[in-house]
Amino acid sequence: MLWFQELLTQIHALQHRTRKWPYAGRITFLLALIAMMLLITQGHHLVNPADITGYDLQDGKLVAEQGRPPPGPVLKFVSVVLPYLDKWMVVGGFVLISIFFRQWGNLTKLVVPTWVAGISITAWGVCSDIAHQLGAMQMTELGEPLAFSAYYFKLILLAVATLCLPALLHYYHRRGALDRYTMRTFLAPLIFCFLAFTSLWLIMDLLDNLKDFQEAEAPLGRVVEFYFGVMPFIFVSVMPASLLLAVLYTLTKMSRANEIVAMLGVGRSILQILQPIFVIAAAVAAMSFAANYHWAPRAEGKKEAVIRGLEGKQKDSIMQSAVMYHDPLTQRTWYISSVPFSLRDGRLRGVQVRDQGADGSISRVIHADSATWFPGGLWRFFDGKEIAYVDGKPSAIRPFANDSYGRSSLDIRNFEETPWSMISYALQPDFMSVPELVSYLKAHPKDSLERLAPFRTYFHQRFALPWQCFALALVAAPLGIAYSRRGAVGGIAGSIFIFFALLFLNNLCLNLGKGSHLPTWLSPWIPHLLFGVLGIVLLHYRSQNKDLPRLSLKWLFGTKAKIARPRNRQAA
């Protein structure tokens, strides 16, 4: 380990020397701006155009592919700005690292660079999402109804999530010494608990799926990419428990060291002492809200689809298997062996299409190894054959012709069916994001209330679940504060019991909403409202320096007080 200690010594010496360089951060930032100006003057967006889904750049203009509407002003703006943002993420990232390396520990000079980095990441993330999603949404990926309002709200949440960290740093910079100390004392166990729970989740899931990865001979890069894509779901899953334990550890530690009493002695109230913790809990809830709106359910659904694909030894993920669909209007029957999680990353496998006449006789059958659907109504079948029938008997068998790329394919444009129409009734609301749930509800307005209840319940659950973090912080804060050494263990045990009670009540109310036993808009909110009110009541007791109410079971057993018998002195 001597080489590692020597490396740390050299890094510390380099950091000490760079601190003495005058205006080093401003000079590197100015050089980055000059580099970006040179790219603009050279027309970088024309040489390296942005990849806009469904559109091509020809002679400096964005041109729509066949079957897509003309590009709007938003897509035109993104096609020009996104190439420069891609380069700025590389150049600006180098500048940010150099500034952090130089000014680490000097909080005053880190606030502005952090805000610039947060705004830059927000702009790049929003433009990248528009480039890959908005163009496809104008015709949709699977043929589902449009949900533009839900999509634009997703972009707003993306911006809120990326700006939470700069906002927390700015809040830390503007607060006093006591609030800074509370934030530092709280953030350390919060990060530790999150990393610990995340590591446990990854280890347990890897042990469960290791055999599938080995049998599929998946490379290490694919496994890392698989678990990196599940991070939004992991964040939403483990952050409530991490926040609960961090609040309990922080306040118990401060109570045992009499720091809470000391802060009260200088005139601060309980709410003022807990304000930094509640601010961090609100920021965590906002980030969980953004993740649970779209990325977490999609990540969970993709994880299950990829695992099913590995178990079935398929090239693509498997969202649905053995799909049979009959269109009563066109009298066309489809059978699909497996449907991928996304048609951008995979194809429909094992496709068979049967055309029937008015009398029910078969007129044509298409067998294909795979197929895909393009917005605009184009179906493309690969590696198969087309069989024509006359009087119910096969008359001609025609293999697919080879296209310009040497692939055996068949293009058909007069099929009205879409992948969405085939699999919409088999979709599970557990793995659907808010835009997808909105699309489903718009596509099936005449379905029964029992059929739509799970989708409506999960729609409201996407908004309610993230605030579980804030409700747990409200409950754990008064239970973690103890003015003496006797109350710490009881508060920890009570908070853990409340956490499991919240999980049980959350699942219970969710199932009651899915079964139409409770209003779908109310059932996901009931646990968080109840425990939020409980936390406010306990916080009121603690702020008034009163003992917390205790649960007593004496009324249940109905025991009565007994008169003590006098001692028998003679027997003694």
pLDDT confidence tier of residue 41, bands split at 50, 70 and 90: confident
Of all residues in the chain, what percent are helix, strand and coil, respectively (each to 5)? 60, 15, 25
Beta bridge partners of 567: none
pLDDT confidence tier of residue 572, bands split at 50, 70 and 90: very low
Query: Which pLDDT value is given to residue 161?
Result: 92
Buried b / exposed e along 223-237 (16+ C-beta atoms within 10 A): eeebbeebebbbbbb
Tell me what the pLDDT averaged over the chain comes to: 81
pTM for the structure as a whole? 0.82
Q: Residue 560 pLDDT > 60, yes or no?
A: no
Dig out the tokens for 547 from the structure: 């003992």
pLDDT confidence tier of residue 276, bands split at 50, 70 and 90: very high
Query: Which pLDDT value is given to residue 71?
Result: 76
Range name among 68-72, 186-190, 292-296 with the lowest pLDDT average: 68-72
pLDDT tens per residue, range 225-270: 888 889 999 999 999 989 998 998 898 888 888 888 888 888 888 8
**Angstrom distances, CA of residue 492 to CA of 6, 188, 246, 344, 496:** 43, 19, 11, 48, 6
Buried b / exposed e along 478-491 (16+ C-beta atoms within 10 A): bbbbbeeeebbeeb
Token pair 């068979």: residue: 352
Say how many CA atoms lie within 13 Å of 485 toward its Cβ.
1
pLDDT tens per residue, range 82-140: 888 888 888 888 888 777 777 776 777 788 888 988 999 999 999 888 887 775 554 45
Q: Residue 27 pLDDT > 80, yes or no?
A: no
pLDDT confidence tier of residue 292, bands split at 50, 70 and 90: very high
Query: Which pLDDT value is given to residue 148?
Result: 79
The secondary structure of 360-396 as a DSSP string is: S-EEEEEEEEEEEEETTTEEEEEEEEEEEEETTEEEE
pLDDT confidence tier of residue 14, bands split at 50, 70 and 90: low
- For the chain, the distance separating the N- and C-terminal CA atoms, rounded to the nearest angstrom, is 74
Rounded Cα distance between 77 and 275, Å, is 42
Q: Which residue has the higher pLDDT, 248 or 359?
A: 248
Beta bridge partners of 356: 362
Q: Which residue has the higher pLDDT, 66 or 205?
A: 205
pLDDT confidence tier of residue 497, bands split at 50, 70 and 90: confident
pLDDT confidence tier of residue 21, bands split at 50, 70 and 90: low
Q: Residue 488 pLDDT > 70, yes or no?
A: no
Q: 286-300, 333-347, 550-564 — which one is most confidently predicted on average? A: 286-300
**Angstrom distances, CA of residue 114 to CA of 92, 99, 186:** 11, 10, 21
Q: 7-16, 55-64, 251-260 — which one is most confidently predicted on average? A: 251-260
Rounded Cα distance between 419 and 415, Å, is 11
Instruction: State which amino acid sits at residue 443.
Output: A
Range name among 2-11, 414-423, 523-532 with the lowest pLDDT average: 2-11
Beta bridge partners of 335: 324, 352
Which helix (H) or strand (E) covers residue 322, if one does?
strand 320-327
**Angstrom distances, CA of residue 268 to CA of 255, 259, 325, 422:** 15, 12, 67, 62
pLDDT tens per residue, range 538-550: 888 888 777 666 6
Q: 96-100, 110-114, 484-488, 557-561 — which one is most confidently predicted on average? A: 110-114
Percent of the chain with pLDDT over 90: 20
Query: Which pLDDT value is given to residue 491?
Result: 56
Query: Which pLDDT value is given to residue 30?
Result: 81
Rounded Cα distance between 348 and 369, Å, is 8
Q: Residue 29 pLDDT > 70, yes or no?
A: yes
The secondary structure of 94-120 as a DSSP string is: HHHHHHHHHHTT-GGGTHHHHHHHHHH
